[in-house]
Amino acid sequence: MSGPINLGIHWDPNFQNRTEAGFQRLQKEADGEFIRLVTPYVPVRTGALRDSAKDSTVLGSGLIRHTTPYAAAQYCPVGGVSERTAAGLIGVSAA
């Protein structure tokens, strides 16, 4: 069999919408899983710092927020490196 072979690609008009929706679902899942995995390493006195991640984070945004006023002090003491960050459990630096 000889002769020309013609090929063509026809994109589905909904391709972008479908893939973006998939990535949004994936980001929501990743955010929730990150919060779940990090929670055991969050200092707990009253539970407010731990709970603030669930209350303040918009799943799917890619930004995990701990919004208590003392959150930075829990992770970044005056010296800039806490035992947790020094152990490599949490990548936070004092700025």
- Of residues 24, 25, 38, the one with CA closest to residue 66: 38
- pTM reported for the whole predicted model: 0.61
Question: CB-hemisphere CA count at 13 Å for 31?
Answer: 19
Q: Give CA–CA dist 82/8, Å, rounded.
A: 59
Q: Give CA–CA dist 10/56, Å, rounded.
A: 43
Instruction: Please answer whether residues 53 and 42 qualify as being in contact, where contact means their C-beta atoms are separated by less than 8 angstroms.
Output: yes
Tens digits of pLDDT across the chain (95 residues) = 678 888 888 888 888 888 888 899 999 999 999 999 989 888 888 888 889 889 989 999 988 888 887 777 666 655 554 454 444 444 444 44
